[in-house]
Amino acid sequence: MDFLDIMKNRRSCRSFIPGKTVSREDLLKIVEAGRLSPSGCNSQPWKFIVVDSPEAKAKLCDAIVVENGMTGAPWRDQVSAFIIFVEQEAKVMPSVVAHYHDTQRFAPGDIGSACMNMCHEAYSLGLATCMIGMNDQQKMETYFGIPAGRDVRLVLAIGYAADNTPVNKVRKPLDEVCSFNCW
C-alpha cells in the first residue's frame, strides 16, 4: 500500500471487538516502531509500558478516568492492550539547554512521533488504535510504579476494529495549514 494511502485510511478506532486478543508478537512489533522513532538529540525520552493482562488493564481503565468521571475513552473496556507513554528526562546537547533552558523542549513531540509510528505499524498489521490524552497521573504512578513526576503523556489503545467502514477525514483545508516561503 502506498504510504499516503496508509495516512488516509488509518483512523482512530473507538469500537473494538471485545475479547479478540492482540498477540504479544504484534505488540512487540508495534513497540519496535516506537523504539526506532527519531527524537531530539536522539535522546529517546520515553518508556513504553505495555498493558495486556486483565488485572493491569482494569487498573489502566481506572487511571484514564479523571475528575468528575471524565474520560476520553468510554469504550476502554473493549480494548485488548494499551501502551502507556511515560516521558523520561531527555539527555540533550548542552547547546539546546543553553538556548531553551529546558531539557524537555523536544520530548512531547518525540513521544508524539513515536506514538504515531506505532499507530501506523499497528495499522499495517491489521490492527486499530486510538490515542488517549487524558489520564490521572497520581493513579498511573500508584498502579504502575512510575516514578513520581514522570509525566504520562499518552496512552495508546490497541485492538481489532469492530467496524472497518471507511470514514472521511475531517481536516483543515491545505491553504489554511500550509504556505510556501512565508506565513
Q: Grid coordinates in use for 34?
A: 516506537
Please name the residue that has the C-alpha cell 485488548. 80
Our finding on whether 134 is near ligand FMN (CB under 6 A) is yes
Alpha-carbon distance 76 to 64, whole Å?
Answer: 9
Cβ-based nearer residue to ligand FMN, 98 or 177 = 177
Contacts with ligand FMN, 10-29, as mask; x by CB under 6 A: -xx-x---------------
Alpha carbon of 113 to those of 41, 62, 106, 117, 179: distances in Å? 14, 26, 11, 6, 23
Our finding on whether 133 is near ligand FMN (CB under 6 A) is yes
The full length of the chain comes to 183
Alpha carbon of 59 to those of 111, 143, 166, 169: distances in Å? 23, 7, 32, 33
CB 150 within 8 A of CB 7: no
Smallest gap from residue 71 Cβ to ligand FMN (A) = 7
Cβ-based nearer residue to ligand FMN, 14 or 139 = 14
Cβ-based nearer residue to ligand FMN, 72 or 159 = 72
Interface of this chain with ligand FMN, residues 60 to 79, rule: CB under 6 A: 72-73
CA 50 to chain centre: 11
**Torsion sign over Cα 139, 141, 145, 151:** positive
Please identify the residue of the shown chain whose CB is closest to the bound ligand FMN.
72
Smallest gap from residue 111 Cβ to ligand FMN (A) = 9
Our finding on whether 130 is near ligand FMN (CB under 6 A) is yes
Exactly one of 33, 81, 131, 156 binds ligand FMN (CB under 6 A); that residue is: 131
Interacting residues toward ligand FMN by CB under 6 A: 11-12, 14, 72-73, 130-134, 154, 169
